[in-house]
Amino acid sequence: MFEPSYLFDVLVEFGALQLIVGLLSLLWGTAYGIYYFKFKHSIEVTRNIPSPPALPIVGHGHYFMFKKPHEMLQTIWRLGMQYAKPVKFIKIWLGTELNIITGDLTDLEIILGGVQHLEKAGEYKALGPWLGEGLLVSHGRKWHKRRKIITPAFHFSILAEFVQNFEKESRILVQVLYREYLKQTAAGFCLGDLINLCTLDAVCESAMGVSVNAQTNADSEYVRAVKTIAMVLHKRMFDIIYRFNLTYRLTKLAREEKKALAVLHGFTEKVIIQRREELLKAQQQTEDQSTNADADVGSKRKMAFLDILLQSEIDGKPLSNLDIREEVDTFMFEGHDTTSSAITFCFYNLALNPECQRKCFEEVIQVLGKDKSKPVTFEDLNNLHYVELCIKETLRLFPSVPLLGRKITEECEINGKIIPAGTNIGISPLQLGRMEELFPEPNVFKPERFEAGFSSEKVSPYAYIPFSAGPRNCIGQKFAMLEIKTVLANVLRHYEVDYAGNKDEEPLLIAELILRTKDPLMFKIKPRVY
C-alpha cells in the first residue's frame, strides 16, 4: 500500500522538498518586497498611529478571518479598547487597504464638517450596481449639483404631503398587527419584518407616487427583489469571496443580484417613462389646465420625489431617465431599511422602558385625542415632543447607520496625523453614542438627556451624528423623523408593546450599512382600551 510518508522521504532524498520550500520562500519574499515598496510611504507616515500587531501582506486581516457578522463589531471595539487608548483612533490594514477608525471629535469636525473630504469610502461600492451614481455615492461636481436640485424635495410643504403616505401605510400596519395579536404566542412575533414592509410601501409612495403593496403582498416580485439586494449587501460586507469583484462575478449570488436589479430598475424606469409622458401631455394642453388632473403635478396630484426630479434641470438641461432612476433608487434605499431599523429599535426601547412608553402614549392622546380614527397630520407630529426625545435617544444607542466612511483622495494632515491618499476613514456613530465622557450612563435609555436640545457648549455637535454631519449629512432626516413619529403614534394609540426576548441582555448587533441584530427582536402586543 502506498504511504504518503514514502513520497515525503523521496522528496527529501532528491532535494525536491528543499527546492519547493525555497521557491515558496522566494515567492513570499518577492511579494512582500513588492508590497512594502509600493506601500512604504503609507507605512512610514502612519507609524505614529496606533494599531494592533500586523502580519506581512495580510495586515490585520487575520483578526477578522472566520468571524461571524456580529463578531466583526466586537473585534473592532476590542481592538480599539486595547490599542486606541489614550487616543481615540486606530489603524487597520486589510491587505493593501489602509483604514483609520477614529472617534476623536476634532478629527470628525475636520472630516465631516468641511468640503475637502466628501468622497465616500470603498465599502459603498457594493451599492453601485443598484444606485449607480446617485446622491449617496456620487462625489465632486456631480454630487454638489444633485444635492442642490434635490434639496427642495424636502421642503416642509412637500414633507406635509409625504405624511399622508406615512398615515396610510401605518394604518395598514395597525390592521396587520391585529392579525398578529390574534395568533401570537408567548414567544412573540418579529415586529421588524412587518415594519420593514410598511416603510417599503411608504417610501415607494413618496419616491414614485405608486404603491407596491408590500404589506398586503409580501411575496411580490418587487418585494422579493428588495430582499435579495439586502442579502447581497450583507454577504458582500462579511464574506471574503464576495468582497472582490473578480471572485464575486463567478458566484450564484452575483446572478441572483443581476435578476433582482433587472426587476428593481425595470420597475423604476417604467414609472419614470409613464410619469414623463403624463407631464408632456399636460404641457401640451391649450385649454384651462387647472381643471385637468394631470396638468399640475403639485396641486391635483400628491407630489412625489420623482415629480420634482422630472421638472428639475442641471446646467439648463433636464435630467435623463438614468439620472432620475439613480436618485429614485437612492431615495428608496436610504428611506427604507434605515427608517425600519430606527422604528424597530424605538419599539424595543419603549418595550423595555414602560414608563417612557406610557409618557409617549399620553402625549399621543393629548395631541391626537381619543378618536383613533383621526388622521395624523404634519402639525400633530411637530407637537409630539417627548416622542421625538425617545427617537433621538434610540438613535444614540442604535443609530440606523452604525458606520460612516470617507476616502482621502489626496494626502493631507488631519489633527496632526499625516493621512496618505487612498486611506479609508471610518467613523462610528454607534461607538460615539456609547462613550461615557460624551453621554453619562451611556447604556441607559434616558430620553430626557435631549430635552435642552444638543447645543450645550460642553458637547461637540459631532458627538451625536446618527444622520452624519456637515455638507454630506442625511438630506432626508426630517422625512425619516416624520415617518418614525407617524408609525409610533398610530401603533401606540392602538397597542401596548412588550418585548418577548431576554430583557436583561442587549441583543448582539451587526454593523452592516444598516444596523441589525443577530437574531430578530420578538414582541408581544395588547390592544389598548380607552
The number of beta carbons lying within 10 Å of the beta carbon of residue 370 is 9
| First-last CA distance in the chain | 85
d(CA 170, CA 166): 6
* Residue 210 DSSP symbol: -
d(CA 423, CA 97): 7
Secondary structure (H, E, C), 96-159: CEEEEEECCHHHHHHHHHCCCCCCECHHHHHHHHHHCCCCCCCCHHHHHHHHHHHHHHHCHHHH
Among 123, 185, 55, 73, residue whose Cα is nearest residue 509: 73
The number of beta carbons lying within 10 Å of the beta carbon of residue 500 is 19
Give the per-residue pLDDT at 507: 95
Q: Which helix (H) or strand (E) holds 288?
A: none
390 is an annotated ligand-binding site residue:
no
b/e map 297-308, b = 16+ CB within 10 Å: beeebbbbbbbb
* Residue 466 DSSP symbol: B
Task: Give helix then strand counts, H and E, for the chain.
Answer: 19, 13
pLDDT tens profile 54-107: 887 778 888 888 888 888 888 988 998 898 888 899 999 887 889 999 999 999
Give the per-residue pLDDT at 297: 40
Per-residue pLDDT of the chain (530 residues; tens, 9 = 90+): 445 555 445 544 555 555 665 566 666 555 556 555 667 888 889 999 999 998 877 788 888 888 888 888 889 889 988 988 888 999 998 878 899 999 999 999 999 999 899 999 888 888 999 999 999 999 888 999 999 999 988 988 899 999 999 999 999 999 999 999 999 999 999 999 999 999 999 999 999 999 899 999 988 999 999 999 989 988 888 777 787 788 888 899 999 999 999 999 999 999 999 999 888 887 777 444 454 444 444 334 567 899 999 999 999 999 999 999 999 999 999 999 999 999 999 999 999 999 999 999 999 999 999 999 999 999 999 999 999 999 999 999 999 999 999 999 999 999 999 999 999 999 999 999 999 999 999 999 999 999 876 545 567 889 999 999 999 999 999 999 999 999 999 999 999 999 999 999 999 999 888 999 999 999 999 999 99
Tell me the CATH number of domain 61-282+302-527, given options 1.20.140.10, 3.40.50.460, 3.20.20.80, 1.10.630.10: 1.10.630.10
Most distant CA atoms of the chain, gap in Å: 99
Calculate the CA dihedral of residues 149, 153, 154, 159 and round it to 10 degrees. 170
Give the torsion sign (CA, 124, 130, 133, 135). negative
d(CA 222, CA 68): 29
